[in-house]
Structure 1
């Protein structure tokens, strides 16, 4: 069975993330979307809320499972029998950091591959941070994030 892991903070999930999830789900028997619990960051939404957003947003993709993890991604992948890590890229600036992480993960476990997927052009500028900033100042984020997230985002900011 081919199992992929698509990790991220997803604070909040954007339509760019969903683009990667939908496309990656076609490559694997099971795709685990893994929400990182990072104690060094102060997320806008709780892990539970981010999991809820993802479950609602991915409910029609049958082979997608939503989970959370802390610690090393490579250990989470191994524990879940995943053979591939999927990383979404928006621009060249994302590549340098993700390349370093992929090489470290390969050193830690050479049996797990990392693949990079470019987001669709229409989402190449989109990030969770940018969405939060636009919403904070009253800008329109319609069409950039799932509707379930949009309602909650305006309440938070």
Structure 2
């Protein structure tokens, strides 16, 4: 059976830290589906279509990585794309506390799903989408934190 993992997030934007998790995840899974979730409570800074296109371009040499967007519960999306695993990255203990609760709810919704956590590579741990948005908003150059050029 093919091991498919869903890597869910808002990815606003998708960072080199996210890229690192996907590339390392390819050592564990046959396929990774990057799922960009729509959050009705948050307005995106970068347009969804732009980010999808940029992520697809960043992984164009990886046929076992694909990108989808969704407006549903993550556990349902995992089931719909055939994923039995959720892939998540952890930068610190705060991330763990947040992700732990989400993983338990995902397991409640879809008892066949397992969440796999990878610790972010140390040199990428300070990078977050919210920091990049703030830098970009105030005119700072952010391309060094992204696996593509904006």
TM-score range relative to shorter protein: over 0.9
TM-score calculated relative to the size of structure 1:
0.90
- Higher mean Cα deviation, 53-62 or 93-102? 53-62
Determine the structure 2 residue equivalent to 1:39. 40
SS across alignment from 2:35: strand
Unaligned stretches of 5+ residues in structure 2: none
Give yes or no for contact 1:32–1:64 (8 Å, CA) kept in 2.
yes
Q: Distance in 2 between matches of 1:140 and 1:118?
A: 26
Please say if 1:51 is aligned against 2:52. Answer: yes
Displaced runs of 4+ in structure 1, greater than 6 A? Answer: none
- Tell me the equivalent position of 1:119: 120
Distance 2:137 2:70 in 1: 28
Map 1:1-157 onto structure 2 (within 5 A): 1-149=2-150
- Runs of 5+ consecutive residues of structure 1 not aligned to the other structure: 150-157
How far does the alpha carbon of each residue in 1:85-123 deviate from its partner, in whole angstroms, 9 at most, with x for none?
A: 011111111111100011111122221100111111011
Q: CA RMSD in A?
A: 1.2
Assess, with a 3 A threshold, how the Cα gap between structure 1 residues 13 and 76 changes in structure 2: closer, same or farther.
same
1:10-52: per-residue Cα shift (whole Å, max 9, x none)?
Answer: 1111111100111112211111000011121111122211111
CA shift for structure 1 position 146: 2.5
Q: How many pairs align? A: 149
